[in-house]
Amino acid sequence: MTAPALELSHVTKTYGDFTAVNDLSLSVPTGCVYGFLGPNGAGKTTSLRMILEIIRPTSGTITVLGSTSALAVRGRIGYLPEEKGLYKKMKAWAIIAYFATLKGMSRRAAKARAYELLKRYGLADFAEARTEALSKGMGQKVQVLAAIAHDPEFVILDEPFSGLDPVNQTVMEEIITDLRARGHTVIFSTHVMAHAERLCDRLAIIAKGRKLFDGTPEEARQMLPRRVQLLTDDGIAPLRDLPTVSAISSTANGAWQIELRAGADVQAILQACFTHNIRPRGFRFDEPTLHDVFVQLVGPDAKEATHR
Amino acid sequence: MRYAFLIAWREFAENAKTKGFWLSLLIFPAILTLSIQVPILLEKKGTPTRHFVIADASGEFAPLIALTIEREQTERAEQALRDFVRRGKYPESLSRFVHSDHTLDLAGWKAGQGANYLKVPGFVAPHPRFRLVALPEGVSPNAAPDLAAQQLRPWLRGERQLSVDGQPAPLFAAVLLAAELPLAATTGAASKGIHYWSENLADTALADLVEHTINTELRRRAYVAHGLDPATVREVERIKAPLTSFNPKKAAGEETVGMADRIRQWLPSLFVYLLWVAIFSIAQMLLTSVIEEKSNRIIEVLLSSVTPGELMVGKLAGIAAIGLTMLGVWVASLVAIVLWKSLGVSPEAAAAAGGMAGIPGDVATILRTTWLLPAFAVYFLLGFLFYSGLILALGSTCNTLKEAQSFMGVIVLLLMVPLLMMTYIPRDPNGTLATTLSWFPPYTPFVMMNRVTADPPLRDVLGTMALLLVCTGFVLWGSGRIFRRGILRTGQPPELLELLKWLRR
């Protein structure tokens, strides 16, 4: 197994009395798309800034691409910050090329690359436009392109989807999957679970600066009990005694909600129905979603979300 | 270093693309050219001949004034002829009377030509400044001032025009003289003897001329009345012992204070102005540049690629390059215009014309022979770095230009002091005020630039330079620290105490 692209070990960042990130440890394998989930003010941006060495952690160590200094490997890292902004008077291609040169590309190569990217992502007509003339979505796309123009092997995207319309959200997803297809590592933060669910190989959920979960989406979903909804006119008393069932409750629409123990097989419920002559009029099984997991894990925190 | 250079290059290129930059590049040479050319043009064409009338109740002075006006016009025409010859494009007929140094033997030429000596092909004599014309009909030449003023009022107020050579012309002024002018030294009621009426109060040339003519005549008469010979008196009045300035610090035989010495004394002031303008011209650019990146959060992308130190150095270098380019163009255009104006004028002729054109040569000599230039370069650089570091650090703590402007107010006030002091320091370059101010690092570059030509004590030169060097280093170091923190900060600008804390950690 190759070394992880990123490793955080007991990282803490305090601002006076306020702890923005508290004893955070995680590991991002090379070539994986890693979701960084959490409510507003959870410490996502602070963590990403520390990874990039924009700010220094109060304690703990961070290893990026095998180096303890992100600046030492800056040419291999791409970064899209949460708040998007561009130099208003610069042309779209010039900004992309400028940021690429700051990552170590030669000026000539950076210019060619800028035009190529703008063409590939449908902005060829705007290459010569000043960024102040671009719409918000286009501007954001230009910024994403600027972040990946030097073809970094490790890309950090802070809220890449915010402010994009559905079409451009799809383009953003494409960009991420393109990067993964070429074996690059991507970390992105979001609080929109649908994106995380579709894109992430692994994810971490943090709230109030603490890590609440770290693993694959599948592992995340397994944290919640699986539920089956059963609609029947027969008595369901026999099901209560099944070892796989942890609880049964009635729902508003007259159906029964059966909660299964972890690792239980849904088929066992149907089988039991046959055995005990319970005739289902309706049977529905929903996998828990990341959304459910997220709300379950950070729900109370998210409501009283504090902001620095 | 490569990254700082990239930052600097972008700052330079982006600022150089702005209209404001090109406007400020062009505006200085444009103003300079205009301020030289416009008075010349006005002199040539602008001011028309001004017509005036005299009502002289005494009947004694009008001819005298007419004579003075005529003499003045002749002198101007002769001077113009000399200038014409000096420019070298005179006809063959004249060449016999031109000396090798391009001066005209006017007396010789005049003797040969007689009354027509001003009618030279290619030469146009300047039109007269003033012309005495006859009083309008109905105004008596011998009327008392009060009556004459009343009668002339429509012309004086521009309601009626004179008729000069059949053409209408406005009346510029009326000189009204009472029948009796005072013969004793006196002021008061009798001083109303000469009445000068004109709507134009700014141009006093005619009034001065009239006053001088009449008073000279009155004095002449008084001398006669006292039994003195006017010719003798004139002889006596011509006695004059010339005053020559000497500088005790110069070697024996070279003590005379000449043009070069005056330039040497005032050239530093020019450099001080240059530093001042340089700081101000880049202050705005520095602030805008930092605050744009901060408010757009571009700063985060930048800081993921470069260190705050590289960013700061790059910014300083890029914007300094812009400021210095501007300054360079200004200085170059100044030199070019001065050279152009003095082109084709030999130093001797220039000296004859008032010494103005000899200045470029003098300046060049001074710059070559003294260590003025290297000293200025050092003070300029240190002063420039000192203030730009300060401005950059302040800018980094602000989120909007508005916030930054209030900080700038303080810096502007701080910078006003050396400018105000500049009048006094060259007069006493090694006095208490100058010495004290030069030990205050923010003012060291300004004050020392002014003192450096006055041979200040070596202790002052080396001491203040060392202190300034240390302070500039400290300012840049501290700015780096404040910049590093300020640049990522959002919300209220920090309090002074907090800034000090940033410096410590």
Quick one: pLDDT at residue B357? 45
Quick one: pLDDT at residue A184? 92
Top mean pLDDT of B38-47, B150-159, B368-377, B496-505 is at B150-159
Residues B268 and B400 in one domain: yes
Residue B259 pLDDT exceeds 80: no
Quick one: pLDDT at residue A62? 92
Which one of B292, B304, B502 makes the best mutation probe of the A interface by having the most chain A beta carbons within 10 Å? Answer: B304
Chain A nearest C-alpha distance from B28 (Å): 26
* B-chain residue closest to A90, CA distance: B14
Chain A nearest C-alpha distance from B294 (Å): 9
- Cα–Cα distance, B271 to B249 (Å, whole number): 23
- Cα–Cα distance, B305 to A100 (Å, whole number): 9
Residues B361 and B434 in one domain: yes
Residue A283 pLDDT exceeds 80: yes
Q: Average pLDDT of chain A?
A: 85
Q: CA gyration radius for chain A?
A: 24
Nearest to B300 among A74, A81, A88 (CB): A81
Nearest to A85 among B7, B10, B298 (CB): B298
Per-residue pLDDT band at B368 (split at 50, 70, 90) = low
Residues B101 and B31 in one domain: no
φ, ψ of residue A159 in degrees (nearest 5): 50, 60
Chain A nearest C-alpha distance from B302 (Å): 8
Among A1-5, A113-117, B477-481, the range scoring the smallest mean pLDDT is A1-5
For the record, the structure tokens of B414 come out as 């701080």
Quick one: pLDDT at residue A301? 57
Residue B245 lies in a domain: no
Residue B240 lies in a domain: no
Per-residue pLDDT band at A185 (split at 50, 70, 90) = very high
Residues B90 and B230 in one domain: yes
Chain A nearest C-alpha distance from B90 (Å): 58
Q: Mean of the pLDDT values across residues B64-78?
A: 89
Quick one: pLDDT at residue A109? 93
Contact between chains at A86 and B3 (C-beta distance less than 8 A): no
Residue B46 pLDDT exceeds 60: no
Question: CA A65, A71, A77, A82: dihedral to nearest 10 degrees?
Answer: 120
Residue B393 pLDDT exceeds 90: no
Top mean pLDDT of A155-164, B118-127, B140-149, B178-187 is at A155-164
Question: CA A148, A154, A158, A159: dihedral to nearest 10 degrees?
Answer: 80
Contact between chains at B305 and A49 (C-beta distance less than 8 A): no
CB < 8 Å to A99, chain B: 301, 305
Nearest to B6 among A70, A87, A102 (CB): A102
Q: What is the pLDDT of residues B269-310, one digit of tens each?
A: 777 887 888 888 788 888 888 888 888 778 888 888 888 888
Residue B249 lies in a domain: no
Residue B242 lies in a domain: no
Q: Answer yes or no: are the C-beta atoms of A194 and A166 closer than 8 Å.
A: no
Quick one: pLDDT at residue B283? 82
Q: What is the pLDDT of residues A2-11, one digit of tens each?
A: 788 899 999 9
A194 touches chain B (CB under 8 A): no
Residues B53 and B18 in one domain: no
Residues B148 and B277 in one domain: no
Residues B28 and B113 in one domain: no
Residue with more model confidence, B42 or A171: A171
- Cα–Cα distance, B117 to A167 (Å, whole number): 92
Nearest to A71 among B295, B297, B307 (CB): B307
Quick one: pLDDT at residue A112? 94
Per-residue pLDDT band at A97 (split at 50, 70, 90) = very high
Residue B408 lies in a domain: yes
Give me the domain span that covers residue B272.
2-37+259-504
Under DSSP, is residue B489 helix (H, G, I), strand (E, B) or coil? coil
A87 touches chain B (CB under 8 A): yes
Residue B247 lies in a domain: no
Q: Mean of the pLDDT values across residues A269-289?
A: 82
A147 touches chain B (CB under 8 A): yes
Residues B83 and B183 in one domain: yes
Work out the percent of chain A whose per-residue pLDDT is above 70: 96
Residue B42 lies in a domain: no
Whether the full predicted model's pTM is greater than 0.80, yes or no, is no
- Cα–Cα distance, A21 to B359 (Å, whole number): 69
Residues B61 and B28 in one domain: no
Residue with more model confidence, B203 or B317: B317
Q: Average pLDDT of chain B?
A: 80
Residues B317 and B181 in one domain: no
Q: Which domains does chain A have, with CATH numbers?
A: 6-91+133-219 (3.40.50.300), 227-287 (3.30.70.100)
Count structural domains, chain B. Answer: 2
Residue B239 lies in a domain: no
Question: CA B335, B340, B346, B350: dihedral to nearest 10 degrees?
Answer: -70
* B-chain residue closest to A94, CA distance: B10
- Cα–Cα distance, B77 to B348 (Å, whole number): 22
